């Protein structure tokens, strides 16, 4: 098993998990302050429900890819890399949005959650003897936590699906990332340990930018693979690729560093996992990588400046 494939999902899940842990911790603190700790089971149910729903979505996505791979359709070999490219593009969009939007919204996150919890608990405040109202408040808390966990989980699931070809390692990385996020949540809210979350999210944000930029290269690679297969399957599309060409849509090769830094052996495999390095890189991939990293990086650092100003 290539353990370097676990690094990106570990980092993504750790960051997403810490965000979810912050939401859960703030909700529990609000319930404690409102003397409504008997609603805590609804919080835990929301965490479990969001995690199960995320896992179910992931299983559905992966089973879909496997079904395509097993299909005897003539164009199944074309559809599989296109689906993988689609998952890459969705993961790029969602993780980029999360990174930039959450950085901008982090300052007001606690206040928004406290307002939502108060709105859910308020109806029972004057009459705690009315179980129907108390039950309604529980569902409000459950929904808040469920959506928060599902949102973070869905982003992670899409990212793992985009790494599906790398086997079990990305899943194990996600599990360890989730355990790390749970540990950080306990350190913060149960044991009162001081952690510089601002610095943590800044560092994780920079690493996430590099990881997502690597997905741009993977998406283009899969699109190109679909074009190669299509040109060999159907004569009417034969003109897409030159006979025996490795690149149909990506342009000329920029470099070939296989001789001294292959991307399937250490340390190249680590650079590939974290920064999108490829020992075979083509012009379209290089341009897309630089453009995406420059654009998303500029937006991210602007959001950091706006948050601290």
pLDDT for 135: 63
Residues 98, 92: Cα–Cα separation, whole Å:
10
Residues 52, 304: Cα–Cα separation, whole Å:
33
The answer to whether 224 and 249 are in contact (CB under 8 A) is yes
Residue 256 is inside which H or E element, if any?
Answer: strand 253-256
pLDDT for 200: 85
pLDDT for 2: 62
Residues 150, 59: Cα–Cα separation, whole Å:
14
Is the torsion defined by CA of 84, 86, 89, 93 positive or negative?
A: negative
pLDDT along the chain (309 residues), means of 10: 75 88 88 83 92 90 83 83 90 87 68 77 52 67 90 86 74 88 86 78 87 92 90 77 74 90 84 86 95 92 71
Following DSSP, what letter does each residue of 163-223 receive, concatenated?
A: TGGGTTHHHHHHHHHHHHHHHHHHHHHTS-----HHHHHHHHHHHHHHHHHHHHHHHHHHH
> Exposed/middle/buried for 280, CB within 10 Å: 0-12, 13-18, 19+?
middle
Flag whether the pTM goes above 0.85.
no
pLDDT for 148: 87
pLDDT for 124: 46
Following DSSP, what letter does each residue of 97-138 receive, concatenated?
A: HHHHHHHHHHHHHHHHHHHHHHHHHGGGTT-TT-HHHHHHHH
């Amino acid at each position: 098993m290539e353990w370097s494939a676990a690094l990106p999902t570990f980092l993504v899940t750790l960051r997403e998990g810490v965000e979810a842990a912050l939401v859960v911790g703030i909700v529990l603190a609000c319930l404690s302050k409102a003397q409504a700790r008997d609603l805590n089971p609804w919080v835990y149910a929301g965490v479990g429900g969001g995690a199960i729903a995320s896992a179910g979505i992931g299983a559905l996505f992966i089973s879909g890819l496997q079904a395509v791979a097993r299909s005897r359709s003539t164009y199944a070999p074309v559809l599989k890399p296109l689906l993988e490219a689609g998952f890459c593009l969705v993961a790029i969009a969602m993780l980029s949005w999360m990174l930039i939007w959450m950085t901008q919204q982090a300052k007001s996150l606690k206040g928004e959650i406290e307002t939502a919890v108060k709105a859910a608990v308020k109806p029972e405040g004057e009459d705690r003897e009315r179980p129907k109202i108390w039950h309604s408040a529980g569902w409000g808390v459950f929904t808040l936590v469920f959506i928060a966990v599902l949102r973070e989980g869905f982003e992670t699931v899409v990212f793992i699906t985009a790494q599906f070809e790398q086997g079990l390692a990305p899943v194990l990385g996600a599990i360890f990332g989730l355990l790390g996020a749970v540990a950080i949540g306990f350190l913060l809210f149960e044991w009162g340990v001081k952690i510089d979350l601002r610095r943590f999210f800044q560092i994780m944000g920079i690493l996430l930018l590099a990881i997502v930029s690597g997905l741009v290269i993977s998406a283009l690679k899969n699109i190109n693979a679909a074009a190669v297969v299509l040109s060999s399957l159907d004569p009417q599309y034969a003109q897409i690729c030159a006979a025996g060409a490795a690149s149909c849509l990506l342009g000329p090769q920029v470099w070939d560093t296989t001789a001294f830094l292959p991307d399937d052996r250490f340390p190249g495999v680590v650079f590939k996992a974290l920064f999108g390095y490829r020992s075979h890189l083509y012009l379209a991939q290089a341009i897309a990588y630089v453009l995406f990293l420059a654009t998303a990086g500029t937006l991210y650092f602007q959001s950091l400046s706006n948050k601290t100003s």
